[in-house]
Chain A
Amino acid sequence: MNLRLLATVYRKELRETLRDRRTLAVMILLPLVLYPMMSVLAAEYFISHETSRQARKSEVVLVGPGAAAGPIHDALTAASAPLHVKVEPGRVVDRQQGLRALAGADAIVVAPADAEAALAGDGTLELAVYYDASDDESSLAEERVSSTLKALANARLSARLEEEGLAPAFVKPLALTSVSLASKGKVGRAEVAKTLPFVIVLMVLMGAFYPAIDLTAGEKERGTLEPLLATPAPRRTLLAGKLLTVATISALTGLLNLLCIAGAGLWIARSAVRAAGKSLDLSGVLEAVPWGAVGLGVFALAVATLLFSGLMMAVASLARSFKEAQNFLTPVYLVASMPAMISWLPGTKLSYGAALVPIANVTLLLKDAVAGTLQAGPALLALLASCGWAAAALALAAKIYDSERLLFAAEASEGGAGGWRQLLFPARAARAAAADAKLRAPDTFVAFAPGEAFVLFAVCTLLLLGAGSEMQAYGLGGVAASLWLCLALPVAVAARWRLGPDAALALGLRRPRLRHIIGAALVGASGWIVLVSLVLPVQEWLFPTPPALEEALRTLVAPESSLALKLFAVAITPAICEELLCRGALLRSLVRPLGRTGAVVVSALMFAVLHLSAYRFVPTFMLGVLLGTVALASRSLWPAMLVHALNNATVVLLTGPTTKDEHASWSLPFAGAGIALLAAGFALLLPPRGSQR
């Protein structure tokens, strides 16, 4: 890559971005002005509100025969008690009256007639305080009354012990002292470690948001992309320059936010400490900060900014306008910020499993680094994984930036069966265009545009979550019915509505070749062995299945229903319904924008999402990749359905769902045989060399 050219692009993009008010607002105005101002104002308001609240005396009504005089009256009306007591001996209060009994007071204390006698003797005086637990002022009054009366009770107890000649220790046979061995600094850092990584990752993500749009979709909208790409500068260099700009802004946003949050935090802490008449001592917090580990965390964060920037630029490149890119990126931002929330959860640490999850790994690495509990192994894996994810995001961005789709999203989708309006009002013209496309290129003749396929997927998933889960309570029959009604029916109706009689062909329901059927049978019979002997053990090591889920899976397949029903509900039905949605609708629609590999990966991810289980995510994803590959290689949905049905049927017939103990019994030769069968199947499925499309 020509570095001088790269520097030229970087300088120009940075200069232009720094002249953009929107970016500047997010990057500088928010952290430098808004956050400190907001937190300082909030803190000041809180302090002044709390001070005036504490200064106000609670309104307490003392009722009952012992209200006018006696020890309760004396204690509550003493000048030191923060109470304003009104004495109404004649007033009757009971629980039946509810909140009406309070009649404007914060609390009511009922003092019985024999108070003095009960306290002087060796009995127990029964007292009641009525208050409103839903009201802050009333609760404060209750606390104050009870602490005032506790002091009275303690004084009486001491007097009684003295009368009996007993030491105070007599009523305190055990005194427990809890000592935290952690230094004040370590405790402080552990607190900071919970929130800071989350906030920083969020800020870095937010920092990448606008520049990523501005430098891709924004450039497209302003019409500058065409002249730019008409220069001889290589596209990769242009993209690299833009990416560095987005990453720089993103990192700067994170850094500025960090500094401002730290500054505002210190200011608030100082004012709080000063109000208490002391001076702020930071030596405890700063001493023994593991600067090496924190440096590693910052490096990981830098890698993560590349991941965010690449991802956001890739997605924003697909949009035609700034506004469309905002719509595309908002869900990306929300989904990407979710793994960062893991640092809030108590007890989360960077494990080997978590080290592989993008964004979560960086957040946890930062958390452990700040808390001083970072371990070398997972940290190294997290760093490697982050680099891998960043590389994947960059490759995706480069792929989109290299494709014609980058420039001309509008034209590229014009010829296909696309457009929201056409989905709602399928015109004859759209059908005619689709029929034309069918004749020209049966492979790229798809039922839905990518956006439509995703909406369909979302509708199906929601149906399955809502109505589907109700049906699934009725055993295997309910499971089968839920899949037909929530997945197959919506896909079939939408495709039919869209394309009429061509729907089946557009979903990939074409007659397959015999070679592909045999290949699919081999893959279907062996894919499961590979899954069980290779994928599941790794999965169990990374994310062990909770026993409850294992039990649930077991009872789903194991009940005493007939084999035919089991096969229908667990093998055939999912094979047809899930393939129609994930491969027929989703995978096929994604080939054009994402390419074959991208389409297989994304549709497999959605397939895993559809199964709504974090613990089965990895194996389901792998199965999705397998099925997607089969569907594309055979150019038909039937072989993928066959593989899917065989895979599920093997589970039903042979073992039921496998458990951890059973993995141990799978031998290496068994796995080897599985791989050999799988390879033979794929040899039949994939087109002979030279004829690859």
Chain B
Amino acid sequence: MKNDIPKVLKIAEVRDENPTVKTYVFRSYDLGAKPGQFVNLWMPRVDEKPFSVSYCDKDEFWLTIAAVGDFTRKLRDEFSVGDKLGVRGPYGKGYTIPEGKKIALLAGGYGAAPLYFVAQEAVKKGCTVEFIVGARNKDLLLYLDRIDQAEGMNLYIATDDGSSGEQGYNTQILERLIGDVDIVMTCGPEIMMRAAMDICDKAGKPIEVSIERYMKCGSGVCGNCCVDGLGVPVCTKGPVMLGSEARKIKGLAEFHRDNVGFKVVW
């Protein structure tokens, strides 16, 4: 039975992650999301926006959200425990988590949140996880303690300014580790993901990437998130796809499209 109407839930808990990012916890609702999937979050009279899921089990799920636009700043400033928001989804294809493999996760900035969900499921399936995070500076990193304290996950950090971990891009760490891993999963800026695809291609390792586009319906209907080259909506045929598939997107890491389909340079 097809039902795609927002379900209103109360915020059960709000956690500060870093100066701009908070995690919103919703409880007593079985969202049934897999790592890499996303939901649409409805704020009545304001807007509805897509957010990836950073944790989900039978009783609760988390959305980790940076206050960077009108919607997310309003969420940060005006919403707290007990307030109501509408949720629908989960939407899209998630990451394919294998059993007993060596996985490298490459997170750029906020990408650490959805990849933390991947890491948890991967460890449950007997995988070892090399968790590589990167950001412009230490204030933009998140989930470090959770990753560091988890069994089966090794944390690596790179920042552009060297304020945490090694100075430079996180992809240079991936380059060092690639020989020892079976598969790479990445989430972050498209230019970083493309660099990771190049590293994986060279090493002959598979990679899954998460393609972000302006989304409206989440159901593959409106066409706003269709990518050039492939011609498919990434809300249903992605957001997670194999690197070999993402290669067919024309303008990958070069442009995306706005709410009316206009090209915008990344």
Chains A and B belong together in one complex:
no
Residues of A at under 8 Å CB distance from B? none
Residues of B at under 8 Å CB distance from A? none
